[in-house]
Amino acid sequence: MGAEARAIAARAIAGVLRGASLSERLPALEERVAPRDRALLRELCHGSCRYAVRLEYWLGQLLARPLKTREYEVRALLLSGLYQLEYLRVPPHAAISESVEAARLLGKPWAVGLVNAVLRNFQRRRDALLVSAGRIDAVRHACPGWLLGRLRRAWPEQADKVLDAWLQRPAMTLRVNRRRSDIESARARLAAAGIEARPVAGAPDALRLERAAPVERLPGFAEGELSVQDTGAQFAAALLAPRDGQRVLDVCAAPGGKSGHLLERADIELTALDVDAARLARVAENLDRLGLTARLELADASLAEGAWYRCDYDRILVDAPCSATGVIQRHADIKLLRRDSDIEKLAEQQARILRNVWPRLRAGGMLLYVSCSVLPEENAEQMTRFLAEHPDAEVVPIALDGAFAAGVGSQLLPGCGPWDGFFHTLLRRRPA
Ligand SMILES: C[S@@+](CC[C@H](N)C(=O)[O-])C[C@H]1O[C@@H](n2cnc3c(N)ncnc32)[C@H](O)[C@@H]1O
């Protein structure tokens, strides 16, 4: 029992090693394992990615000869085997025998002996391996060296807390749809279903769950009373603060988390853009469930074309594509997928979107720039460059309790509050 889940986990992790995200592959793979094994499958995938840098280091010590690069699935199976032995309360003999069986299920009979030997060897050498892992900064924190370096340079005092948070399982936060419910009644309904939830100071629509629960179990989810949204992502709507009757543009909208929140808070005319058709379809689904409507448009926000570009707006939300380093706790595969060289390219993409969108903001209107990155290149430095090029932009100060000042913006850091890492800068367009 469990060998199948381990084989499927190895496929999903191998996908990450090849460059595909877990959120792309895991939902389809989950369908292929028995419902009782799905939690194990998710745990193996997320946990192995969370600790991959350390697990890879151990694997390097345990293998007599390096594995061939193309053996992604065997490598993934070994990583998840090591993860189980060190970080899960699975009996070691089960972790080893089921991983060995999984090698057969993957059609790799040649790897059966190897998997068995590496995992047993880990058990024998564990104490020494733990000590040596503690001596190398990147291995100790299970964080790629490039990211560790950037984080320590950007946030020298907070870096250790962030790194610790990146090794924890994420909390689950809900947003209560104030058009259909309120915090106290939502909390009472959850409690009646055996789900403990607490309000979050400073985030009036948020309820944080003591333990994550599948959305099907959340009373009121199907009826659009609740959404799953991290606390950090819930500040955008309040900061942009659109008023009834205003025209609002959400330029990087999918899957529609912040679009939904904006519409729950005010009677606005919302245009939601995204460049990705499949993701835009999810905006439609999410808004339908919440009983909200927006004009959806498939468009590239860095190009001055499309119906959206023929209007002016009172409020613009730019929730830019970014490194997602702020949400690593939730998406541990980011540690493996992101490369140092991505940061500059992402910063250029963000700058193109900002420059293109700015002229569509009415004089006196406000634009909120948001990223779920913790890196200044995508955040404070991005904003400083933008302000230097746009004399008609002025910064509106933001007061978020628990956030750190970051140049002309405000940075929430994981591990330093009940949220993922988000950066915000609010700009007003001066009248001409
Ligand atoms: C951080 S996610 C947005 C999350 C969303 N605002 C929410 O709260 O649910 C960034 C989005 O930007 C979209 N995107 C990336 N480049 C874009 C572009 N040039 N134009 C429009 N959308 C873009 C991506 O497809 C992705 O859905």
Q: Is 236 near ligand 1, meaning CB less than 6 Å away? A: no
Looking at residue 13, the DSSP 8-state letter turns out to be H
Report the chain's mean pLDDT, rounded to a whole number.
Answer: 97
Coil, strand or helix: which one is 101?
helix
How far CA 227 is from CA of 100, 206, 403, in Å, comes to: 40, 10, 24
Half-sphere exposure of 73 (CA within 13 A, CB side): 18
pLDDT tens digits along 299-319: 999 999 999 999 999 999 999
What are the boundaries of each domain within the chain?
A: 3-142, 172-228, 231-429
Whether 372 sits among the annotated catalytic residues: the reply is yes
pLDDT at 172 over 80: yes
Distance 253 CA to ligand 1 centre (A): 5
Long-range contacts of the stretch 106-110 (C-beta < 8 A, 24+): 106/7, 106/10, 106/11, 106/73, 106/74, 106/77, 108/71, 108/73, 108/74
When pLDDT is averaged across residues 234-263 and rounded to a whole number, the result is 98
In this prediction, what percent of the chain has a pLDDT beyond 90? Answer: 97
Whether residue 410 has pLDDT greater than 80: yes
Structure confidence by residue, pLDDT tens digits, 262-287: 999 999 999 999 999 999 999 999 99
Q: At residue 432, does pLDDT exceed 90?
A: no
CA atoms within 13 A on the CB side of 203: 24
Say yes or no to pLDDT of 291 above 80: yes
Is the domain spanning 231-429 CATH 3.40.50.150? The answer is yes
Residue 149 vs residues 46, 138, 351: alpha-carbon distances, Å: 23, 9, 24
Query: How many angstroms separate the alpha carbon of residue 252 from the centre of ligand 1?
Result: 3
Would you state the structure tokens that stand for residue 369, as one six-digit string?
């720039």
CA–CA distance, 374 with 383 (Å, rounded to integer): 14
Torsion of CA 38, 41, 43, 46, to 10 degrees: -120
Give the DSSP letter of residue 14.
H
- Ligand 1 pocket, residue 203 CB under 6 Å: no
Span 185-200, average pLDDT:
97
Nearest partner of 226 among 186, 184, 172, judged by Cα = 186
275 lines ligand 1 (CB under 6 A): yes
Average pLDDT over residues 12-18: 97
| Cα of 223 from ligand 1 centre, angstroms | 26
CATH homologous superfamily of 172-228 equals: Sun protein; domain 3 (3.30.70.1170)
Contact status, residue 181 vs residue 225, Cβ threshold 8 Å: yes
List b or e across 45-64, with b for residues whose CB sees 16 or more CB atoms inside 10 angstroms.
bbbbbbbbbbbbbbbeebee
- DSSP label at 168? S
Nearest CA to ligand 1 atom 15: 321
140 lines ligand 1 (CB under 6 A): no
Q: Which CATH architecture has domain 3-142?
A: Orthogonal Bundle (1.10)
Alpha helices in 299-421 (DSSP H): 334-337, 342-357, 380-389
Q: Alpha helices, DSSP H only, in 197-247? A: 235-240
Separation of alpha carbons 374 and 158, rounded Å: 11
Q: How far apart are CA 199 and CA 208, in angstroms?
A: 6
Which is catalytic among the residues 45, 49, 252, 372? 372
Ligand 1 near 253 CB (within 6 A): yes
pTM higher than 0.75, yes or no? yes
Instruction: Provide the pLDDT confidence category of residue 1 given band limits of 50, 70 and 90.
Output: low
Q: Using the mean position of ligand 1's atoms as its centre, give its distance from the Cα of residue 274 in Å.
A: 6
Q: Is pLDDT of 159 > 70?
A: yes
Question: Which residue among 227, 252, 297 has the greatest number of ligand 1 atoms within 8 angstroms of its CB, and so is best to mutate?
Answer: 252
pLDDT in the model for residue 211 = 82
According to DSSP, the residues that pair with 271 across neighbouring strands are 249, 295
The 10s digit of each residue's pLDDT in 323-339 is 999 999 999 999 999 99
Q: Encoding tokens for residue 113?
A: 């002996």
Cβ count within 10 A of residue 121: 16
Q: How are beta strands 226-228 and 203-209 bridged, if at all? A: unpaired
Q: Does ligand 1 lie within 6 Å of residue 273's CB atom?
A: yes
Q: Return d(Cα 41, Cα 61) in angstroms, integer.
A: 26
| Residue with CA nearest ligand 1 atom 9 | 257
Pocket flag, ligand 1, residue 258 (CB < 6 Å): yes
CA 411, 416, 417: angle at the middle one, nearest 5? Answer: 90
Q: Which of 23, 24, 270, 275 to mutate to test the pocket of ligand 1 (most atoms within 8 A of CB)?
A: 275
